[in-house]
């Protein structure tokens, strides 16, 4: 089932919230706003979870990568001969907090991936002093890609925990809000083989108020893999930009999936909520060629196409 939606009705909202992708979620919908506020408050005290995948995950800082946070399966012995994939992540607001999406990234890691986010653990369990978070500053796209460079080098370094455990073809990038712009920029890197853009999109007319990710619409032409945009419905301040990106992309397969939860998505929910499950399925399909995962996105009766809470549009994906 192919469902259509228009991007033009929210141009005024985009103009009124030009910096929202940097500074955080805003919406005029009181129901969505209340939900976002409740989720943020709960997330601050929510314990870490190991994810729902077959390889329970942990969150840590590696001394060889001191300015990033790493999520990985806790026990590599359970992997057997299965190689690890890698997902590098752009934080919301381009914040330098590697724990900002900890539930979501642990969920991905639990399915056999190493997920790496810029910044030390600055929120939630294991966080440093509150003053540390205040001084975090912003990450850059170079910081996002530094995680990929590091893990690929560790894959070749004898004595490394990751020595010989990474498949360099199982590498992807994702990010949310301002970090989604970083993901769009990083997606041009030839080492990237899968892309998800969460709650984000490039501002039209080269108008980009977000820091840390200097992108314009021309960068969309540099996608070289299929791309999934996940938006939070029309109350998501990035909806117009993301939907406009989708409309412009015509050289690679692209899908836009939207669920009416607002700009924050469900990244802060336990195990990343429904968005976390969709992200895992996309990477399993795109990177590992998993046929069961592909049914989430392909066919007239694709899983997302038949779920009432999701709105789907596709190009180049049958």
The CB-side HSE value for 172 (13 A sphere, CA atoms) comes to 31
Residues facing residue 196 across a β-bridge: 174, 228
The predicted structure's pLDDT at residue 45: 83
In the numeric block, the tokens 């108020």 are attached to 209
Burial 180-218 (b: 16+ CB within 10 A, else e): bbbbbbbbbbebbbbbbbbbbbbbbeeebebbbbebebe
Domain range list for the chain? 8-315
State residue 204's pLDDT score: 81
What's the pLDDT at 43? Answer: 80
Three-state SS letters, the chain? CCCCCCCHHHHHHHHHCCCHHHHCCCCCCHHHHHHHHHHHHHHHHCCCCCCCCCCCEEEECCCCCCCEEEEEECCHHHHCCCCEEEEEEECHHHECCCCCCHHHHHHHHCCCEEEEEECCCCCCCCCCCHHHHHCCCECCHHHHHHHHHHHHHHCCCCCCCCCCCEEEEEEEEEEECHHHHHHHHHCCCCCCCCEEEECCCCCHHHCCCCCCCCCCHHHHHHCCCCEEEEECCCCCCCHHHHHHHHHHCCCCCEEEEEECCCCCCCCCCHHHHHHHHHHHHHHHHHHHCCHHHHCCCCCCCCHHHHCCCEEEEEECCC
Q: CA dist 262 to 26, 75, 254, Å?
A: 8, 35, 21
* pLDDT, position 42: 76
Report which of 89, 124, 132, 128 is spatially closest to residue 108, judged by C-alpha positions: 89
Total residue length of the chain: 318
Residue 38, pLDDT score: 72
The whole-number pLDDT of residue 134 equals 58
Q: Which CATH number fits domain 8-315: 3.40.50.1820, 3.90.79.10, 3.40.50.410, 3.40.50.300?
A: 3.40.50.1820
For CA atoms 60, 64, 68, 71, the dihedral sign is negative
| Rounded-to-integer distance, Cα 115 and Cα 88, Å | 6
pLDDT value for 24: 42
- pLDDT tens digit at each of 318 positions of the chain: 333 333 222 222 333 333 344 434 455 567 766 766 776 677 878 999 999 999 999 999 999 999 999 999 999 999 999 999 999 999 999 999 999 999 999 999 999 999 999 999 999 999 977 656 556 689 999 999 999 999 999 999 999 999 999 999 999 999 999 999 999 999 999 999 999 999 999 988 655 555 455 689 999 999 999 999 999 999 999 999 999 999 999 999 999 999 999 999 999 999 999 999 999 999 999 999 999 999 999 999 999 999 999 999 999 999
- pTM, full prediction: 0.88
* Phi, psi dihedral angles at 107 (to 5 degrees): -60, -45
pLDDT at position 17 is: 35
């Amino acid at each position: 089932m192919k469902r259509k939606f228009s991007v033009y009705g929210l141009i005024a909202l985009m103009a009124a919230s030009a910096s929202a992708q940097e500074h955080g979620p805003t919406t005029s919908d009181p129901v969505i706003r209340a939900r976002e506020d409740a989720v943020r408050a709960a997330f601050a005290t929510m314990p870490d979870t190991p994810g729902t995948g077959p390889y329970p995950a942990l969150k840590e800082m590696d001394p060889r990568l001191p300015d990033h946070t790493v999520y990985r399966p806790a026990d590599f012995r359970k992997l057997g001969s299965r190689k690890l994939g890698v997902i590098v992540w752009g934080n919301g607001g381009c914040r330098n907090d590697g724990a900002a999406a900890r539930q979501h990234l642990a969920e991905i890691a639990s399915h056999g991936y190493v997920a790496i986010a810029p910044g030390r653990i600055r929120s939630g369990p294991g966080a440093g002093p509150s003053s540390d978070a205040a001084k975090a500053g912003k990450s850059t796209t170079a910081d996002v890609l530094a995680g990929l460079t590091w893990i690929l080098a560790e894959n070749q370094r004898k004595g490394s925990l990751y020595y010989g455990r990474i498949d360099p073809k199982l590498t992807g990038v994702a990010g949310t809000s301002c970090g989604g712009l970083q993901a769009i920029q990083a997606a041009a890197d030839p080492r990237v083989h899968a892309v998800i853009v969460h709650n984000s999109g490039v501002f039209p007319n080269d108008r980009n108020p977000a820091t840390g990710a200097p992108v314009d619409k021309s960068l969309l032409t540099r996608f070289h893999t299929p791309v999934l945009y996940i938006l939070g419905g029309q109350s998501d301040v990035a909806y117009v930009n993301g939907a406009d990106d989708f409309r412009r992309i015509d050289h690679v397969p692209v899908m836009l999936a939207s669920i009416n939860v607002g700009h924050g998505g469900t990244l802060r929910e336990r195990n990343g909520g429904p968005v976390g499950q969709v992200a895992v399925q996309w990477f399993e399909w795109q990177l590992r060629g998993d046929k069961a995962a592909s049914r989430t996105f392909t066919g007239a009766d694709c899983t997302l196409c038949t779920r009432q809470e999701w709105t789907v549009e596709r190009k180049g994906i049958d």
